[in-house]
Chains A and B, each alone.
Chain A
Amino acid sequence: MSDPLLASEKSAAAGLFAQSARMRVVSENIANASTTGKTPGADPYQRKTISFESVLNDDTGVSTVQVDQISRDETPFQTEYMPGNPAADDKGMVKMPNVNMLVELADMREASRSYTANTQVIKQVRELVSMTIDLLRSS
């Protein structure tokens, strides 16, 4: 049996990694919120989604988290009238990315909340470990 405190630090670190991957996907989406195609009628940027899965670590017996898959959002694109755009079709309509700013910002807030929660866990585990070490330091 390995040290459970070390195992908790490991799963918190896995949580940090997963949430930062999610933050990366959110920032990709926001950065490409108005990336249209290059040729007439071409598809614009398609929003990316990320999902997590829980995996059991065989060494420690503790379930950690990892990124399951990064896939594309299949929601249909909105069209806007922009005749000057290189991606405009013969009617002047341009397909816009299916990125919804509100959804992305909500996602970002949740990711940052979970990230903070995981850093808090690491802090507390470190305090527990230092309490044990302090036993040797006394008197």
Chain B
Amino acid sequence: MQPLQLFDLAFRQNEWLAQRQSVISANIANANTPGYKAKDVESFEDVMRRSVSMTTTNPEHIASSDDGQVPAYENDPNRAEVLVSGNDVSLEDEFLKSGEVMRSYSLNTQILKTFSSMLQSVTKG
């Protein structure tokens, strides 16, 4: 059993959420830029699945690298909100996503807080 992995997992998700928030704010900043297409990041499940590193049997083998960067992709081009200028940012959608980020982030930090206080109560006795 590796209970300390919980910290790692929560931090990884927080990192992913921060990336997502930065993409969302880029979308909102570009809400009036002609030709700008709204972007979003890969889902957390996909990132986790990809970032499980390969085990190497020999130290000379090249380890699978993952620099923690989450690739951004563009939204479906056939959405209804595309404006004449070619811009398809919908402020409502972006704030919806931003709300999701806030919720998950606060959930994660609460879990971390609880877990660390549990650890402390064990170590302090």
- How many B residues are at the interface, by size bracket? 35 or more
Of chain B, the residue at the smallest CB distance from A57 is: B26
Interface size on A, residues (CB 8 A): 42
Say whether, besides A1-B68, A132-B14, A8 and B25 are in contact (CB < 8 Å). yes
User: How far is it, in angstroms, between the C-alpha of A70 and the C-alpha of B19 when the chains are bound?
Assistant: 32
Interface residues of A in 80-139 (CB under 8 A from B): 110-111, 113-114, 117-118, 120-121, 124-125, 127-128, 131-132, 134-135, 138-139
- Residues on B lying within 8 angstroms of A by beta carbon are 14-15, 17-19, 21-26, 28-34, 36, 39, 67-69, 91, 94-95, 98, 101-102, 105-106, 109, 112-113, 116-117, 120
Asked if residues A54 and B117 are in contact (CB atoms below 8 Å), the reply is no
User: How far is it, in angstroms, between the C-alpha of A65 and the C-alpha of B25 when the chains are bound?
Assistant: 11
Q: Which of A14-22, A30-38, A40-48 lies at the interface?
A: A14-22
- A53 CB → nearest B CB, Å: 6
Say whether, besides A15-B28, A132-B14, A60 and B113 are in contact (CB < 8 Å). no
Asked if residues A110 and B21 are in contact (CB atoms below 8 Å), the reply is no
